[in-house]
Structure 1
Amino acid sequence: MKKALLQACAVCVGTTGAYAGGIDRSGQGINLIFEEGTVVQFGLSYTDPDVSGTMPNIFGAGEPVDSGNIANDFFTPHLGFKTALTDQLDLAIIYDEPFGADIAYSSAYPLSINPFNPTQANSLRAQADIDAITALLRYKFDNGFSALGGVRVQRVSEARIGVPIVGDYSFDAGSEVDFGYVIGVAWEKPEIAARVALTYNSKITHNLSQTEVIGGASFETSTEVDTPQSVNLDFQTGVAPKTLLFGSIRWVDWPQLDVAPPVYTAAVGSSLVDYDNATYTYSLGLGYQFTDEFAGAVTLGYETDEGIPVSNLSPTDGFWSVGLGGTYSLEKAKISAGVRYTDIGDATADGAFGQTADFTGNSAWSVGFQITYSLG
């Protein structure tokens, strides 16, 4: 019963994805390390966001200009392997895509227009693909407590940004691989399906080499970029027969992410991408075992909003969400699926020439599935 419930809960929280703060994608979950025995796991989520706003036409009179749907849909994969090295020591290898971005504005949007060549078709845009492999160890003590620790190898495979209004500026960085770490503690009481896990994910510093182009001139430069540190608190407990209460709190230190390439910074006097505040993301759910083979769960999610101007390259401010998921258990496999709706918080984005942009009424749908197969 407990294993199926855990998977039903996890699919709502993890594999259905979310349109979270900053460029958060996977949530950097480590629930795989708590599976029993030796297992392999595959998950895939798909998120279809709808994010748009309007800005006054700074190049002429008339109605505000619509941005179009700036947020492209995306897939988030998850792969994992877990095994027990000894009675007290477990090992998990986890692949995920912790951070990412893929946005593009309408070519008619004021910030998509090169003032020196207004007829040039272009777009304010940003694309970043970041994936990671985490090797995680868990040592179990005799009193229900355990210690977690591991190494994360993270790769920036692509980072591209275009800001046409700044002399048709573009930023194109090459691939870079760097290292961070994960540490944590956990406590379990199997008799009531209780567990609390606290994990810390270190920041990872990437020294990017990129090409910056502005006003038709090209420059080869370098920039130090940190993906932010974060803390995850995950908890669960049985509250009635066949019923599990579960949830999580995630804190991400977004001000550590500051992209300040030298040419852009010299031209504009500010960073290309930065954040003023950390985010707190909360989730709470309830799972129920309907039959010996099937369990279901419902989750609610909330992320705090700051109510301050945000970057045009991440024009959202908080969210709330609701998700449904279920797991069907076979002899050696557990198959989970889920769906989540996210109401994306309204935001005011920095504009140009004293004007700002308003993003309201935005949302996202996410679906996902996960297969966990026991190897013994």
Structure 2
Amino acid sequence: MKLKYLSTAMILATLPATGAFAAALDRSGQSMSAFFQPGNYFEAGISVLDPTVKGKEAGESLQPHRDIGDMADDYYFPSAALKLQVTDQFSFGLLYDQPFGAKAAYSGQNVFVGSSSDTVLPKPRLDAMAADKISGAVNDTVALLTTGATLPTNHDLYAQQQKVQGTINALVQQQMAANPGAPEAVIRPAVIAGVKAQITPDVTKTVTDKVEAGITGVNKLLPGQGGTNVEVDSQNIAFVFGFQPIKNINLFAGGVYQTIKGDVSLRGTAYSVFNGYDAHIKETGGAGWLVGAAYQIPEIALKASITYRSEIDHDVNIKENISALDALSLLYPTPEAGLARAKAIRDDNNKDTTITTPQSVNLDFQTGIMANTVAFANVRWVNWKDFAIQPYQFGLFSKEVGPAVSRPNGFNLVEYSDDQWSVNAGVGRKLNEQWAGNVSVGWDSGAGNPITTLGPTEGYWNLGLGVQYSPTPATFIAGGVKYFWLGDAKAQTGAQAGEDRYIASFEDNNAIAYGLKIGYRF
């Protein structure tokens, strides 16, 4: 079974659309196939994804549960590769892709879209907090006015305390005059109890007005209209050096330079006090590495390879804005203390945040199964379980509000609970000297469920078709399409991550990916 040239026709096995809608932020699939092409080789491709991700408020969202329209935006990403066979034993490659990314925008009327009626906390919870704060403040104020130590003259309750204490002393003297021989230790507590009962209604009204004014003021800090949106982009170029000690083995390694950038805006009551949070991640670069090995028997179109890619750290000063930061005035014992802490967080804006893109392993295999026909498979693992993003000021604020949601150590903007596993397999066939085609099926595990509201799907199944036309033995044009059945998922905010709590559910969604690639051998 002579299949020496069949691998040229079967380049569709790694059509760019392969990883178009993978778990978490995974996008391109980081294929190494171009580096294993014989001789000198160049390719360029583009993939386009058209997803539909709709859902419904659920879980901790207040009733009635409203529909959530399509929140997944279309996107595209290019790829390119140049491979040079410098000598019989040494090769060099430049591989460019955009491995990680996200693009989503919420609209309509739901918990992910702001409105003029938004409150920093759900109204039942805000009412309960206000009642508790009013009760505590009334008790403290009444005690301070009637039995507390004398206040300094610049205290806002000084004059009122002097008046109340004067009234108490006058009443004590009257009672002692009316009851000769009665000890003051008996009379004074009774008088104080009576004065407390008299002043409590006025104190309650004053405190209630102040607390309600504070809540109203904090609610006005929220941005109002606008939907939650996220856009993350990355670029990756690998410099790969290969050594072929014998014709069947290829050992390779290289350096990787990667950039990331992004913008995130959280809107709507789903995010509580983070409604109105904005983060701008300016483009920043980081370096990593890759290493792997490949084995091939060209006569039967057999190729097998394994590639490891390292983590890459990006240190970036994220520009953040927290609209409701002054809501700390409601959480601290006094509004002044809360506002002082808010100012300290707002001014502490010169610290870098480290974003670490995950390590991964790709295993690729293909072999001839009959004349002019090959079977192929790709298995990919990505370490999303250890990935998290916690912008610096976001982290500080989350530690302040965390105890209120049983997260005393704060929480992340984005995190995932599971690693991603994906498998793509199929069959390709050479029809004649110019035409070839393939069919493939794919599965992706997702990165956990519940999952972040910024990408609420759990893996997928897909079915793909591809075709390739070779006008000359040295050139080809390939195109393909894949249909994705996206996994149902429950969406949760950062404050809910790590638990079964969620705020919305997304079911029965899908996506279509299109890919185009051109190649040239020289």
TM bucket normalised to smaller: over 0.9
TM-score by length of 1: 0.93
Residues 149, 182 of structure 1: 8 Å contact kept: yes
Deviating above 4 A after TM superposition, structure 1's stretches of 4 or more consecutive aligned residues are: 56-61, 216-219, 351-355
Q: Distance in 2 between matches of 1:362 and 1:200?
A: 32
Q: Distance in 2 between matches of 1:234 and 1:172?
A: 37
Structure 2 SS opposite 1:174 = strand
Q: Call closer, same or farther: CA 1:73–1:324 in 2, change over 3 Å.
A: same
1:182 paired residue number: 290
Show CA shifts across 1:95-144 (max 9, x none). Answer: 11000111111252213335225782111221111011111111112161
2:159 paired residue number: none
1:161 paired residue number: 264
Residues 418, 448 of structure 2: 8 Å contact kept: no
Q: Distance in 2 between matches of 1:27 and 1:2?
A: 23
Residues 305, 363 of structure 2: 8 Å contact kept: yes
**Structure of greater Rg:** 2
2:196 paired residue number: none
**Is 2:371 the partner of 1:370?**
no
Displacement after TM superposition at 1:293 (Å)? 1.1
The counterpart of 2:374, out of the listed 238, 244, 247, is 244
Structure (1/2) with the larger helix percentage = 2
Displacement after TM superposition at 1:65 (Å)? 2.1
Q: Distance in 1 between matches of 2:106 and 2:506?
A: 13
Show CA shifts across 1:268-287 (max 9, x none). Answer: 32100011110100011100
Structure 2 SS opposite 1:343 = strand
Q: Distance in 2 between matches of 1:18 and 1:146?
A: 28
Structure (1/2) with the larger strand percentage = 1
Residues 60, 503 of structure 2: 8 Å contact kept: no
Letter matched to residue 368 of structure 1 = G
Residues 230, 253 of structure 1: 8 Å contact kept: yes
**Is 2:137 the partner of 1:135?**
no
Displacement after TM superposition at 1:19 (Å)? 0.8
Displacement after TM superposition at 1:8 (Å)? 2.5
1:51 paired residue number: 53
Q: Distance in 2 between matches of 1:293 and 1:59?
A: 57
Displacement after TM superposition at 1:305 (Å)? 4.8
**Is 2:301 the partner of 1:197?**
no
Q: Please show how residues 107-118 of structure 1 align to structure 2 within 5 Å.
A: 108-113=109-114, 114-115=118-119, 116-117=219-220
Q: Call closer, same or farther: CA 1:290–1:143 in 2, change over 3 Å.
A: closer
Letter matched to residue 27 of structure 2 = R
Displacement after TM superposition at 1:336 (Å)? 0.5
Q: Call closer, same or farther: CA 1:95–1:210 in 2, change over 3 Å.
A: same
Displacement after TM superposition at 1:56 (Å)? 4.3
1:144 paired residue number: 248
Residues 17, 47 of structure 1: 8 Å contact kept: no
Q: Distance in 1 between matches of 2:19 and 2:63?
A: 41
Letter matched to residue 456 of structure 2 = P
Residues 4, 328 of structure 1: 8 Å contact kept: no
Residues 9, 296 of structure 1: 8 Å contact kept: no
**Is 2:475 the partner of 1:333?**
yes
Q: Distance in 2 between matches of 1:256 and 1:22?
A: 12
Displacement after TM superposition at 1:61 (Å)? 4.5
2:9 paired residue number: 5
Structure 1 SS opposite 2:13 = helix
Q: Distance in 2 between matches of 1:49 and 1:56?
A: 22
Residue identity over aligned pairs, in percent, reads 30
Displacement after TM superposition at 1:262 (Å)? 2.5
Q: Call closer, same or farther: CA 1:75–1:155 in 2, change over 3 Å.
A: same
TM-score by length of 2: 0.68
2:82 paired residue number: 81
Q: Which stretch of structure 1 is more off in the superposition, 300-309 or 329-338? A: 300-309
The counterpart of 1:228, out of the listed 344, 350, 358, is 358
Structure 2 SS opposite 1:99 = coil
Structure 2 SS opposite 1:110 = coil
Q: Distance in 2 between matches of 1:202 and 1:289?
A: 36
Gaps of 5+ in 1: none
The counterpart of 2:505, out of the listed 351, 358, 361, is 358
Displacement after TM superposition at 1:57 (Å)? 9.8
Q: Call closer, same or farther: CA 1:333–1:355 in 2, change over 3 Å.
A: closer
Show CA shifts across 1:347-366 (max 9, x none). Answer: 01115896521100111101
Residues 212, 263 of structure 1: 8 Å contact kept: yes
Residues 4, 327 of structure 1: 8 Å contact kept: no
1:32 paired residue number: 34
Residues 4, 334 of structure 1: 8 Å contact kept: no
Gaps of 5+ in 2: 120-218, 326-345, 399-409
Q: Distance in 1 between matches of 2:287 and 2:244?
A: 26
Q: Which stretch of structure 1 is more off in the superposition, 226-235 or 124-133? A: 124-133
